[in-house]
Structure 1
């Protein structure tokens, strides 16, 4: 694969779909792309947020899991998702907004010579906002004139993912061999002694980074509510997705078959530190939807064509654990 690949989307586990909807749409101001169902478990909602055109590189998705436990922080796990914002002035706006809505945050900090705010989403999901790099063009991003967030301070896209791993060199080398991202170098993780290896893509329109934090101090994460379930990397077409499948086979790495999600096709595998990655095709195959409804329960359930014939059954399954559709 070439180094232009991007972080397609990031998926998070939460225990309450309506609470997550209210946070990501009504506090962060993200656009709802669709309210659908987990295709492996029809009792679970799957909610997609993105820019107003639903572009890969801007997507964060939420799985609702009614039963389970809170995420237990640890290594061999994705540590934090950071979104891109236009400026330091934007961070000041968000600092005030987080105070207004009682969102736990840690103030404006500096990391890799960029300003950011780390904060917690629903179920204490570790998130952050970071100022876009100097070489990025804000004209490449789609902002929404009708957003509840001022135009000049809106979240633009995904920016980076942090991962804590036992063997960073293994994850780094694997990621470079699969996606050909460039080595940005090493740094230390905020005010700790932990070493961080950073890789970045070379995409002019959607710049992304992944940070591998060397962590031998914390136990292995026990994933639950608030944890980042997986990170998806883009591939151009189904043919290049098949090339990924072949590469994984040559490495004797266990992976899923290629799955038809309706919206795109993808494959799942775990890297040498057991980080769960998805590789997904870029084309988003779905009809454009305008959601005017403000309440989660009023938003219709969107299903890909191959699940539409099961709508009645799926809606019954969702009702088992929920009082809203």
Structure 2
């Protein structure tokens, strides 16, 4: 029912620093520069693979006056990115050390070899050895960087959620969305949207800590990708379970709806059909200029006047 992650969205205080880290350090492609459709004075920037295919995109809303995150529970607390091999982890440890990005060294995460580090604003990132396993056909790692081809980031892996009530989230993912339990103990549960595959995996940690106060480097929501069920049906099913939804939103590049599960973590469900980021750009031009959906295009002059020019942060 869910084919995997679609994208994940965070807050940043400074797009210049953010853009440098995700493109120059991690070697991802900036595949779309747009705006928050609910607040067009705010950039919404996407980083991913060559075309920004589903399951790759790390997206950021820029809020220059945002404060620091107070880490805590009922939050999305980590994002794993897949690399091809153990040798890739060694390569990335050396690269991060050279670029003065603090990391925890090679260890284990969710049962796999890993390398844990944080971006410049404190967002927890984990590189996971994918051990040469297959990835979705549409994934195409970006080559316009100085990362050695055999070690490029493949796409998103495990997403970590820290919540007070683990069982309610496990039940939601199992009963409504069809996730399979890949492992569980008193403190954690590993849920997979595609059995045996890490690219749709959610690691749930239980914690009684204070609730997180969002700030720079915190995660706003995880978007999951419906395999074939239309959004209108997801909307009905969620409401029958007592969840409040936003209803279906047309984001032009895809359609989606949002809801919060019982701990307060926000999910977005992206519909099975999507235009993708090449709907209004050629592959060669992706991420080079401000793209607006057609319904915002008449406001381009007003919108651009509120934004820092792209040339100032790229």
The Cα shift of 1:112 comes to 3.3
State the number of aligned residues. Answer: 309
Cα deviation for residue 290 of structure 1 reads 4.6
Relative distance call for 1:303 and 1:109 in structure 2 (3 A) is same
- Within a 5 Å distance, the mapping from 1:107-256 to structure 2 comes to 107-132=105-130, 136-137=133-134, 140=137, 141-187=139-185, 195-202=187-194, 207-216=199-208, 218-236=209-227, 240-256=230-246
CA distance in 1, matches of 2:47, 2:312: 22
Q: Report whether the alignment pairs 1:301 with 2:290.
A: yes
TM-score (norm. length: structure 1): 0.88
- Most deviating of 310-319 and 19-28: 310-319
Contact 1:32 1:291 in 2 (8 A): no
User: Partner of 2:303: helix, strand, or coil?
Assistant: helix
- The equivalent position to 1:261 in structure 2, one of 251, 254, 271, is 251
Cα gap change, 1:201/1:324 in structure 2, threshold over 3 Å: closer, same or farther?
A: closer
Q: Which residue of 1 aligns with 2:43?
A: 45
TM-score (norm 2): 0.91
Q: Which residue, out of 4, 16, 28, partners 2:26?
A: 28
DSSP 3-state at the match of 1:306: coil
- State how far apart, in whole Å, the 1-side matches of 2:297 and 2:198 are: 33
Per-residue displacement from partner, 1:57-105 (whole Å, max 9, x unpaired)? 1111011011121110000001101101101100111101111111121
- 1:82 corresponds to: 80
Q: Which runs of 5+ in 2 are unaligned?
A: none
Change (3 A) 1:268 1:104: same
Measure, in 2, the Cα distance between the counterparts of 1:175 and 1:139. 22
Contact 1:14 1:122 in 2 (8 A): no
Q: CA deviation at 1:269?
A: 0.5
Unpaired runs of 5+ residues, structure 1, are: 188-193
1:74 is paired with a residue of what secondary structure? coil
2:296 counterpart SS class: helix
| 1:281-324 CA distance string (max 9 Å, x none) | 2423423445679xx9xx4211112211110111112249x966
Deviations 1:24-77 (A, max 9, x none): 011100011111111111121110112112211111101101112111000000
In 2: Cα distance, 1:249 partner to 1:197 partner = 25
Deviation at 1:202, TM superposition (A): 1.7
Question: Per-residue deviation at 1:137?
Answer: 1.6
Question: What is the CA–CA distance in structure 2 between the aligned matches of 1:33 and 1:144, rounded to whole Å?
Answer: 10
For 2:195 and 2:297, how far apart are their aligned partners in 1? 36
Specify whether residues 215 and 324 from structure 1 end up closer, same or farther in structure 2 by C-alpha distance, changes over 3 A only. Answer: closer
RMSD, aligned α-carbons? 2.4
